[in-house]
Structure 1
Amino acid sequence: MSLATKTEFKAEAIKPKIGSRVLNTREDLLSGEFAAEIRELLEARGVLVFPQVSFTDEEQVAFTKTLGTFAPERKGGEEVISKITLDARENPMAAEYLKGSLYWHIDGTRNDVPILASLLSCRVPSPRGTGNTGFANTYAAFDDLPDDKKAEYEQYRVVHGPWASLFYYEAEPSLAKLQGYAQIGEQELPLVWKHKSGRKSLVIGCTAAQVVGKSALESAMIIHGLREWATGEEFTYSHEWEVGDLVMWDNTGTMHRAEAYDPTCGRMMHRTKLEGEEPFE
């Protein structure tokens, strides 16, 4: 009588402090057998790459649901794929708002509980050398700070709002546009997120407007200084897309950004998300 051989979970590190490639087959991944290992590796590494796994939309939704609670992005709770593109012909409303995605950020800073993770699959890449997606490990960036800076930053709270990201790509927006972005809301968050796991990460990015109790200049020195630190070479990974790639990142411990590309080139990504499981604290 033969015994069934258990399939191994296969992964390899991309860089010492960020990123791993998961090398199991599409069938392995869809089975849900490795959901626990994937979740554990995601928290440890920040970013997981599934090279050319080539999920259909339905399979991407199914895979997402093996890992946690699917987060619908439309009213009514529809379990649909979101098309991510700067091409206004494909997505005229989102194309303007998604300009902020070209700058380092964390999703959901206006919410008490941000999403846990995003999963992005490549349908149409941009021309080679453009349109990569960059990731920065804010767990590792905090861990490597000097102890005196850790103690200092843990005391601070920061006002975040999507309106702050507007000034990254439009220096002189109209009052009407600024008012529209302001209506989305803002939130006061800790600069250092103390996770239920015991780990700590930085909460920074282009939505960070001002450190509470600090002047505009002092705030900029802190916010932009930490962004520069956290996006240094050792903490970052830039993914060059191939058709069929799926990349998943831990939204609670990384920042991300799309790297510049021609909005008319047809670049198209399909996104799903996992519901958040812990508030900013």
Structure 2
Amino acid sequence: MIVGEMTRFAHEEIKPSIGSRILNTKEELLAGELGPQIRELLEQRGVLVFPKISFTDEEQIAFTKTLGEFAPEMRDGGEEKIHKITLDVKENPQSAEYLKGSLYWHIDGTMNEVPILASLLSCKVPATWGGNTGFCNTYAAYEALTDEQKAEYEKLRVIHSVWATVFYYEPEPSLAKIKGMQAIGENELPLVWNHKSGRKSLILGCTAHRVTNVEPAKSAEILVGLREWATRDEFSYSHEWSVGDLVIWDNTGTMHRAEKYDPECNRMMHRTKLQGEEPFE
């Protein structure tokens, strides 16, 4: 009997505390054999970069399914498997307002009980200037805190809201806009996420509105201070996009943001997602 050889998982570290570059071929990735190893490395490293892998939309969907349960995006017209991230209103009429908030550090799904596990983003048209995507490892940021800080922060809970993000990009919004955003509601989450793996990460970002049972000034000090800590250079990585690049990030253990770019350049990214597997706890 001929026994096939296992495909070697080829990767290299980008920075000590965040990011790995995957060096396997498209064919090896689509075969699905490496899925469990990719998942394990994603949890360890936070961000995985597949340089110029040049997946078609169909290949990106197929690859996403090798890693877990595929999570189609929902729009008024029904499900869509590939979501276009662009300021081009012809391609995505609702994107402009949504993408304003994406320029600030955040975790996707803080208004949900179970956030998505991961996002996969591929570059079709890069920005003419700017347009990197920044990531920071909130596992590593938590683990680097002192024991005293960990003990303090593990007791705290934070109110998250979409309406709080408006003030990041529009200092004087209309009352109608605020009421519309407030209708989405709020969500109370722990500041420290106790994962089923036993590891812990910080739940931060621009939706983090206030720490419960803490004076407003102290609340702001905690949230801003931890954001500055988690986004320090040693915990962060900024990806400069080339056509064909694919990047996966662990949404449960990182924050991310788009970096400023020319709004007229028709930058185009295609996104798929993996269904969430554990609630915020």
Scaled to the shorter chain, the TM-score interval is over 0.9
Instruction: Tell me how far apart the structure 2 counterparts of residues 104 and 3 of structure 1 sit (CA, whole Å).
Output: 48
Q: Following TM superposition, by how much is the alpha carbon of 1:4 offset from its aligned partner in structure 2, in angstroms?
A: 4.1
In the alignment of these two chains, the number of paired residues is 280
TM-score by length of 2: 0.97
Q: Tell me which amino acid in the other structure corresponds to 2:117.
A: L
Counterpart in the other structure of 1:118: 119
Counterpart in the other structure of 1:14: 14
Provide Cα deviations, 1:166-203, integer angstroms capped at 9, x if missing partner. Answer: 10000000001111111222200000000000000000
Counterpart in the other structure of 1:195: 195
Structure 1 residue runs of 4+, over 2 Å off? 1-7, 75-79, 86-90
Counterpart in the other structure of 2:204: 204
Q: Which runs of 5 or more residues in structure 1 are unaligned?
A: none
Q: Following TM superposition, by how much is the alpha carbon of 1:216 offset from its aligned partner in structure 2, in angstroms?
A: 1.7
Instruction: Tell me how far apart the structure 1 counterparts of residues 85 and 276 of structure 2 sit (CA, whole Å).
Output: 20
Counterpart in the other structure of 1:275: 275
Instruction: Tell me how far apart the structure 1 counterparts of residues 79 and 30 of structure 2 sit (CA, whole Å).
Output: 21
Counterpart in the other structure of 1:220: 220
Question: Higher mean Cα deviation, 174-183 or 41-50?
Answer: 174-183
Instruction: Tell me how far apart the structure 2 counterparts of residues 119 and 42 of structure 1 sit (CA, whole Å).
Output: 12
Q: Tell me which amino acid in the other structure corresponds to 1:265.
A: C
Instruction: Tell me how far apart the structure 2 counterparts of residues 171 and 66 of structure 1 sit (CA, whole Å).
Output: 43
Counterpart in the other structure of 2:32: 32
Report SS of the residue matched to 2:102: helix
Report SS of the residue matched to 1:176: helix
Please say if residues 119 and 273 of structure 1, whose CA atoms lie closer than 8 Å, have aligned partners that are also in contact: yes
Q: Following TM superposition, by how much is the alpha carbon of 1:218 offset from its aligned partner in structure 2, in angstroms?
A: 1.1
Two-structure CA RMSD over aligned residues (Å): 1.4
Instruction: Tell me how far apart the structure 2 counterparts of residues 79 and 98 of structure 1 sit (CA, whole Å).
Output: 18
Q: Following TM superposition, by how much is the alpha carbon of 1:88 offset from its aligned partner in structure 2, in angstroms?
A: 3.3
Q: 1:4 to 1:72 in 2, by over 3 A?
A: closer
Is residue 232 from structure 1 mapped to residue 241 from structure 2 by the alignment? no
Report SS of the residue matched to 2:73: coil
How many percent identity over aligned positions?
70
**For 1:57-206, what aligned pairs fall within 5 Å after superposition?**
57-74=57-74, 78-128=79-129, 130-206=130-206
Question: Higher mean Cα deviation, 79-88 or 233-242?
Answer: 79-88
Q: Tell me which amino acid in the other structure corresponds to 1:268.
A: M
Please say if residues 86 and 99 of structure 1, whose CA atoms lie closer than 8 Å, have aligned partners that are also in contact: no
Please say if residues 61 and 79 of structure 1, whose CA atoms lie closer than 8 Å, have aligned partners that are also in contact: no
Q: Following TM superposition, by how much is the alpha carbon of 1:164 offset from its aligned partner in structure 2, in angstroms?
A: 0.9
Q: Following TM superposition, by how much is the alpha carbon of 1:87 offset from its aligned partner in structure 2, in angstroms?
A: 3.1
Q: Following TM superposition, by how much is the alpha carbon of 1:210 offset from its aligned partner in structure 2, in angstroms?
A: 0.3
Q: Following TM superposition, by how much is the alpha carbon of 1:92 offset from its aligned partner in structure 2, in angstroms?
A: 2.4
Instruction: Tell me how far apart the structure 2 counterparts of residues 270 and 169 of structure 1 sit (CA, whole Å).
Output: 24
Instruction: Tell me how far apart the structure 2 counterparts of residues 10 and 66 of structure 1 sit (CA, whole Å).
Output: 17
Report SS of the residue matched to 2:249: strand
Counterpart in the other structure of 2:251: 251
Report SS of the residue matched to 1:92: coil
Report SS of the residue matched to 2:270: strand
Instruction: Tell me how far apart the structure 1 counterparts of residues 131 and 184 of structure 2 sit (CA, whole Å).
Output: 27
Please say if residues 7 and 34 of structure 2, whose CA atoms lie closer than 8 Å, have aligned partners that are also in contact: no
Instruction: Tell me how far apart the structure 1 counterparts of residues 12 and 269 of structure 2 sit (CA, whole Å).
Output: 24
